Amino acid sequence: MIAFIRALVVCLSATVLFFPPALADEAQEKLLDQALAAYDEGDFEAARSILLPLANAGNSDAMVQIGFMIHNGEAFSPDAEYECDWYERASELENMEGLYHFAHCFHEGVGRDLLPQQYYALLLKSAELGFIPAMINLSGFDDSHGEEYRNWMMMAVEQGSNYARVSLWLQDYRDDVPDIKILDIVCVSWKILILGDGFMACD
């Protein structure tokens, strides 16, 4: 099965080169969906066999997914530097999620040197492109939960973040979030603050 998928990917990847841009993008999106479906089913080798040609053809979402898989040791050996290499490639294409994860390479000093200024600059670019977790991370630079915190959280709220909405409510910026829902407060408190799920677990 994996051999068949690999052969199919090679054929499709070659064919995509001759498509008009719109059709090529559509073909890549279909391949990416197939890769993510294989990943969700736990078939990491099949996912890898689709993602690598896609990434090498310039698909930045595939690059980010490869970074995840390297981090988790799924069909790749864990290697922080190699993981960050893929995030860097995605960030060069202004992939907002790639920028966010590449930022964390510099924040943690794993896979890249510890460079706080580079961490901040990449987070800022990711947030400006609309990535909610980057906005939330930037709000954390304001330890006093003042205007900088409020501005970044409000930007995240405008993007649909329930975590940001509940956080503002908990910090007494309740006039900013008059439409707060009890279910959102419960979800954020349980899934994110207690269980430690990602910032977007309640969106």
pLDDT in tens, 104-151: 999 989 999 999 999 999 999 999 999 999 999 999 999 999 999 999
> Rounded to whole angstroms, what are the CA distances from 24 to 11, 16, 105?
13, 5, 31
pLDDT at position 25 is 80
Of 11-15, 34-38, 103-107, 167-171, the one with minimum mean pLDDT is 11-15
pLDDT, mean over the chain: 91
The torsion defined by the Cα of 154, 164, 148 and 125, in degrees rounded to 10, comes to: -80
Q: How far apart are CA 38 and CA 13, in angstroms?
A: 18
In contact, 51 and 35? CB cutoff 8 Å: yes
Q: What is the pTM of this model?
A: 0.85
Contacts of 112-121 with CB under 8 Å at 24 or more apart are 112/81, 112/84
The model's confidence at residue 26, banded by pLDDT at 50, 70 and 90, is confident
Q: Report the Cα 170 to chain-centroid distance in Å.
A: 26
At a CB cut-off of 8 Å and minimum separation 6, what does 121 contact? Answer: 103
Place of tokens 């990491």: 44
pLDDT in tens, 36-87: 999 999 999 999 999 999 999 999 999 999 999 999 999 999 999 999 999 9
pLDDT at position 27 is 87
